[in-house]
Structure 1
Amino acid sequence: MGTYLRLTITDTPSNAPVGPLAMIPTSRATRTVWCHLPADWVTDGALRPGRREILLAQLAAPRWVVLEVEERLLSEREARERPWLDDLAAFCRYGADGAARPVTAREL
């Protein structure tokens, strides 16, 4: 069946390659991505080590600095209710190999 994750990413554009001035804190963007993940990506109710980094590498905008990430794994009951159907967000299904496939809310 897999696992469902709501990932909320807040980031800002980078204006310099490195250093403390590498971001524009007044230009923040927050977006939500609903993900369907292989079941083995989760253990003991949390993402397995390294999986969050795979997600962020694929989802974070190029040349943007990630400021904050909120992740929420849905219970089986919550997933059956399909809360993403009413959300204006992005939707991705991940394969066992880590490859992401953008989908519609209904396909998630």
Structure 2
Amino acid sequence: MKKNFLAVLCIGFVVFSSATLSAQQYEEAKKNVVSEEEEGPLMFKFEPNFLTAVENRQDEINKARAVIDTMQISDRKRRRLLRDLHKNPKAVLVSKTSVAETKFEDN
């Protein structure tokens, strides 16, 4: 009876101590993940030039806006062109209008 009780007690001690040790190891692994996040977003590891692409897009919009502002067109059409410029990255309507305006100025 004492041997069985002693064996169960030892097994229980081993199970609970192993659970405690595994919990301590998990916290250390979690701390390492936090340090990786402090380096910056994971997106920059896969696409480091993302912000420069956004800045380039903003520069293109500013240049197109300057072209649109110099054109002799109505305010309604100007607002429509600016809205199209922000919605559509290629802005086909803006390029058609600017080409048409430049051809008109050459004559």
Q: Which category describes the TM-score, using the shorter chain as reference length?
A: under 0.3
User: Greater CA radius of gyration, 1 or 2?
Assistant: 2
Between 1 and 2, higher relative CO (CA 8 Å, sep ≥ 6) is seen in 1
User: TM-score if structure 1 supplies the norm length?
Assistant: 0.21
Q: Whose helix proportion is higher, 1 or 2? A: 2
Q: Whose strand proportion is higher, 1 or 2? A: 1
